[in-house]
């Protein structure tokens, strides 16, 4: 079945530095790749998503890149701030019925 | 603030109790989802409703019983739960049941089984 691997599992960065999280997926039919941010005590919040007909998408300090040939996609956060500290999940769709396969998550800690 | 509202935020219940979790959205979405999330793990899909009909049941034990009374409401009825059912239960919605659409999550109900 569909498998999504996410690395690293934890990431500590200095405020102002960049953070990069990488995911790989196994199903070549996947065509939708959302990223979620989950703060303590909250539900996952969609922060950016990308579809397979696009190679890169940017929203202020957040960007996502997709390499369909290599089956991997990455989240880039620039100029990190303490409020970026959270768990980040990547996901990929693997059928047409609303199912997403999530990565294991990355705990990001931004130190002032 | 999330557009998907879940109540209660916290619930503690014994193994013989019956309780219900509630989820509400007013975005006009016609697909709604229940997920279970254990600590430090990603969400796991339990059920999907599409146009108020059960579309997907991911082999969830019958002690969990979903219900979709109308297009804005989704309930999860709980009965005779086990300690391992303690988790964060998340509700999500999409415009339609299409895996190409962003899922909007609520903040969840944190459930503890004594």
- Give the strands of the sheet with A4-7, arranged side by side: A4-7, A19-25, A72-77, A62-67, A56-59
What are the pLDDT digits (tens) for B13-31?
A: 999 999 999 999 999 999 9
B99 band by pLDDT with thresholds 50, 70 and 90: confident
Q: Examine the pLDDT at A98 and tell me if it is beyond 90.
A: no
Distances (CA, A) of B38 to A56, B35, B108: 32, 10, 12
Q: Is B66 on the interface with A (CB under 8 A)?
A: no
More confident residue, B100 or B56: B56
**Residue A94, pLDDT score:** 84
Q: Which chain A residues contact residue B105 at CB under 8 A?
A: 36, 43-46
- Distance from the Cα of B76 to chain A's closest Cα (Å) equals 17
**Residue A19, pLDDT score:** 98
Minimal Cβ distance to B102: which of A49, A104, A105? A49
Q: Examine the pLDDT at A1 and tell me if it is beyond 80.
A: no
What are the pLDDT digits (tens) for B37-51?
A: 999 999 999 999 999
Q: What is the mean pLDDT of residues A65-78?
A: 96
**B2 with A36: Cβ contact below 8 A:** no
**B94 with A105: Cβ contact below 8 A:** no
What are the pLDDT digits (tens) for A12-21?
A: 999 999 999 9
Tokens of B21: 């979790």
Q: Which chain A residues contact residue B101 at CB under 8 A?
A: 32, 98
Q: What is the mean pLDDT of chain A?
A: 95
Q: Examine the pLDDT at B2 and tell me if it is beyond 90.
A: no
Q: Examine the pLDDT at A51 and tell me if it is beyond 80.
A: yes
Q: Examine the pLDDT at B53 and tell me if it is beyond 90.
A: yes
Q: What is the mean pLDDT of residues A95-112?
A: 92
**B45 with A100: Cβ contact below 8 A:** yes
**Residue A63, pLDDT score:** 98
**Residue B1, pLDDT score:** 55
Q: Is A52 left (phi over 0), alpha (psi -120 to 50) or beta?
A: alpha
**Residue A32, pLDDT score:** 94
A10 band by pLDDT with thresholds 50, 70 and 90: very high
Q: Is B56 on the interface with A (CB under 8 A)?
A: yes
**Residue B10, pLDDT score:** 97
Q: What is the mean pLDDT of chain B?
A: 95
Which residue, chain included where needed, has tokens 């899922």? B103
Question: Which candidate, B47, B50, B49, B77, places its Cα nearest to that of B60?
Answer: B47
B84 band by pLDDT with thresholds 50, 70 and 90: very high
């Amino acid at each position: 079945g569909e498998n999504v691997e996410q690395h690293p599992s934890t990431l500590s960065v200095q405020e102002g530095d960049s953070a990069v999280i990488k995911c790989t997926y196994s199903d070549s039919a996947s065509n939708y790749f959302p990223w979620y941010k989950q703060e303590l005590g909250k539900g996952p919040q969609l922060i950016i998503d990308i579809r397979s007909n696009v190679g890169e998408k940017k929203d202020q300090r957040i960007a996502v890149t997709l390499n369909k040939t290599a089956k991997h996609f990455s989240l880039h956060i620039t100029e990190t701030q303490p409020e970026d500290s959270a768990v980040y999940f990547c996901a990929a769709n693997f059928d047409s019925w609303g199912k997403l396969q999530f990565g294991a998550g990355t705990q990001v800690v931004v130190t002032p | 603030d999330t557009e998907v509202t879940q109540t209660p935020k916290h619930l503690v219940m014994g193994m013989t109790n019956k309780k219900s979790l509630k989820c509400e959205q007013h975005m006009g979405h016609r697909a709604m989802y229940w997920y279970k999330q254990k600590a430090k793990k990603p969400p796991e899909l339990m059920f999907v409703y599409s146009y108020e009909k059960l579309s997907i049941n991911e082999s969830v034990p019958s002690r969990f019983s979903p219900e979709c009374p109308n297009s804005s409401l989704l309930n999860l009825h709980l009965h005779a739960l086990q300690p391992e059912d303690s988790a964060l239960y998340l509700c999500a919605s999409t415009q339609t049941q299409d895996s190409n659409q962003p899922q909007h999550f609520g903040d969840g109900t944190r459930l503890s089984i004594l």
